[in-house]
Amino acid sequence: MKQGSIATRDAFGDALAVLGERFPKLFVIDCDVGKSMKTGSFAEKFPERHINVGIAEQNAAGIAAGLAAQGKLPVISTYAVFGSMRMLEQVRTSICYPNLHVIVACGHGGLTSANDGVTHQAIEDMGIYRTIPNMTVVMPADYHSTRVLLEQAIEATGPIYIRFTRDPIPVLYNEKDRFTLGCGKLLRKGRDVTLIAVGDIVSQALRASELLVARGIDVGVADIHTVKPIDRELIMDCLEKTGRIVTVEDHSKYNGLGSAVCEIAAEMGRGRVIRLGLDDTFGESGTYEQLLRKYGLDAESIAEATLRLL
């Protein structure tokens, strides 16, 4: 694990300022959250390609659809609760149905909104977009993977939902690490059990694996940064090798990473999966670390749940 922590929304802002040079068709559509989403540098460098629609997310989706239809590369920038719910109908009908290349880039994913409370904690967003045809769903695990996966999203086709953190999270990778949309990353091989995580919880899964190894358990860890389309081959391989999987996500247990992995296990007809996430409940205000502990998503809780499975 690398030293230091930084929010992935910072990586989003840093990357946009660079990618704007490389992609002259790149537009950023802000929903009055430019300061929070770190799009200020892009706006200063490319004011003619920065549009702030104010608190009007549905309008942002419509403008993005129009730009994409004209061959531009629009990125909508807002919070995950608004990007997945307030403008869902417009994204579904105006962007996903015609399969337009629009990136819905959202900060404050999951419990990383912390003290902002339930109104700003998006715990349903990846599950919502996972059900929409043509939509790709991504949550990078740290600063470096965010920059790489955002660039790949811009170079890809079709609608893409990419989710960032509000609070700082550990830096796990370096500038030389490689990532591919749709392909998970096996960080540690194991024979007894595999921890499969997404986004900010990958760092917690890695810490949990260290606790388990100290107890003599051979545990694998995988970063499934793309929840849809999910890396079926990697998950099937984990099921073949360990037969037991613990999924961990900063999201509802329903229709997110855990559900996707369970679907693959059911189709294979083998293995056992337990899902860690918010269990049919909303979050509440508190520090990010307090909330992780409360909902069983910190390293110690993940290790304890894995021991119960074993």
Whether the predicted pLDDT of 2 surpasses 90? no
Q: Is residue 57 part of a domain?
A: yes
| pLDDT tens-digit map of 215-236 | 999 999 999 999 999 999 999 9
- pLDDT (average), residues 36-46: 97
Q: Are residues 152 and 211 in the same domain?
A: no
| pLDDT tens-digit map of 231-266 | 999 999 999 999 999 999 999 999 999 999 999 999
Q: Give the global pTM.
A: 0.96
Q: Are residues 161 and 207 in the same domain?
A: no
Question: Which is nearest to 305 in space by CA: 176, 222, 204?
Answer: 204
- pLDDT (average), residues 65-70: 98
Q: Are residues 160 and 238 in the same domain?
A: no
Q: Is residue 180 part of a domain?
A: no
Q: Residue 219 forms beta bridges with which residues?
A: 193
Whether the predicted pLDDT of 29 surpasses 90? yes
Whether the predicted pLDDT of 1 surpasses 90? no
Q: Are residues 20 and 155 in the same domain?
A: yes
Q: Please tell me whether residue 163 adopts helix, strand or coil conformation.
A: strand
| pLDDT tens-digit map of 143-191 | 999 999 999 999 999 999 999 999 999 999 999 999 999 999 999 999 9
Band (pLDDT 50/70/90 cuts) for residue 213 is very high
Task: For residue 114, give the CATH number of its domain.
Answer: 3.40.50.970
Is-contact 291 111, C-beta < 8 A? yes
Question: Which is nearest to 274 in space by CA: 230, 299, 304?
Answer: 304
Distance of CA 171 to the CA centre of its chain: 15
Q: Based on the structure, what is the number of domains in the chain?
A: 2
Q: Is residue 303 part of a domain?
A: yes
Q: Per the structure block, which two tokens stand in for 54?
A: 């104010």
CB atoms within 10 A of CB 252: 24
| pLDDT tens-digit map of 120-135 | 999 999 999 999 999 9
